[in-house]
């Protein structure tokens, strides 16, 4: 439960710290055809706890075989949450939606993990978060959209930029979605969410600060806030990256004239106010006496 004055609420982070959204209607899987599928199946069969290893949850984590909703309503909620997370809160027109992927998810032919992968490889994602973007910005957004956190250091970004240069952006997406971190944090049936608002095991203070720098506010869209890296300065400095509150959270006050010295109005305004106050009181007294006299004489 977040307090009302938590800095997380300034950025709308309480929306990302609520109960994760899950959906599971997948049919029984056949033989694994790739190493990634084999690792995923192996991890699932181990029934290890899923979710980020948050300090406040250590020792009481629910195991991955917990009840999952397979209703159509749960599927709709999961689809909407996935679009919002993977597409960075961008508005998506009907013709930009991945209707084929949605149908496969509803029919149980793919899992949430595969649905997320498909969205990240879609034309919409490529156009808005890869083409024409600073490579560092692209990788930052991949971390946010797919792993629910910001990069820990420059080396982590450099590794993925190198992979992208060698094998393309699709290889970066596969590497993240098939990673042990993804499976441990979200499993196959949970929609990714920005979990770095919380204090999870192995995280630094800078992770929280970078999360604030990336999120900016719950009403922002990742495709509308620029093509350049938002974290470049945080990696070039040894000190913690300062948190800047979003513009929407700043209160704006209308300036007053210099004549209002010390927050008090000019003398002539005070006199005018006094005269009007006295006149108002006299008018109220006159009306009261008139009504009382009429009542007595009638």
Q: Could you tell me what percent of the chain has a pLDDT over 70?
A: 65
Q: How do residues 5-15 score in pLDDT, each as one tens digit?
A: 455 555 555 45
* pLDDT at residue 16 in the model: 53
End-to-end C-alpha distance for the chain, whole angstroms: 67
Q: How do residues 207-232 score in pLDDT, each as one tens digit?
A: 777 877 777 766 678 887 777 777 87
Average pLDDT along the chain: 78
- Give the whole-angstrom CA distance, residue 106 versus residue 231: 37
At 100, list the tokens.
């084929």
Q: How do residues 113-162 score in pLDDT, each as one tens digit?
A: 999 999 999 999 999 999 988 899 999 999 999 999 888 888 999 999 99
Q: How do residues 250-271 score in pLDDT, each as one tens digit?
A: 545 455 565 666 666 777 777 8
* pLDDT at residue 5 in the model: 46
| 189 Cβ neighbours under 8 A, 6+ residues apart | 22, 23, 24, 26, 68, 111, 112, 113
* pLDDT at residue 207 in the model: 75
| 275 Cβ neighbours under 8 A, 6+ residues apart | none
């Amino acid at each position: 439960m977040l307090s009302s004055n938590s800095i997380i609420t300034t950025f709308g982070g309480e929306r990302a710290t609520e109960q994760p959204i899950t959906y599971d209607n997948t049919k029984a899987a056949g033989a694994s055809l790739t190493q990634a599928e084999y690792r995923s199946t192996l991890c699932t069969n181990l029934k290890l706890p899923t979710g980020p290893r948050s300090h406040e949850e250590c020792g009481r984590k629910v195991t991955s075989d917990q009840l999952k909703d397979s209703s159509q309503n749960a599927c709709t909620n999961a689809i909407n949450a996935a679009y919002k997370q993977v597409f960075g809160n961008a508005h998506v027109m009907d013709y930009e939606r991945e209707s084929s992927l949605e149908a496969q998810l509803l029919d149980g032919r793919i899992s949430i993990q595969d649905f997320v992968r498909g969205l990240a490889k879609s034309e919409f994602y490529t156009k808005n978060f890869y083409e024409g973007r600073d490579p560092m910005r692209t990788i930052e957004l991949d971390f946010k959209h797919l792993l629910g956190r910001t990069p820990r250091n420059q080396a982590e970004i450099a590794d993925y930029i190198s992979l992208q240069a060698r094998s393309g952006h699709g290889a970066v997406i596969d590497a993240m979605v098939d990673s042990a971190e993804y499976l441990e944090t979200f499993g196959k049936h949970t929609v990714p969410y920005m979990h770095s608002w919380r204090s999870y095991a192995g995280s630094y203070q800078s992770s929280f600060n970078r999360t604030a720098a990336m999120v900016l506010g719950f009403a922002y869209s990742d495709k509308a806030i620029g093509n350049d890296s938002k974290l470049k300065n945080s990696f070039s400095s040894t000190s913690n990256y300062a948190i800047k509150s979003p513009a929407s959270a700043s209160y704006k006050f209308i300036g007053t004239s210099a004549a209002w010295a010390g927050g008090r109005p000019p003398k002539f305004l005070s006199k005018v106010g006094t005269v009007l106050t006295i006149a108002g009181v006299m008018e109220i007294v006159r009306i009261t006496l008139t009504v009382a006299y009429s009542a007595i004489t009638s």
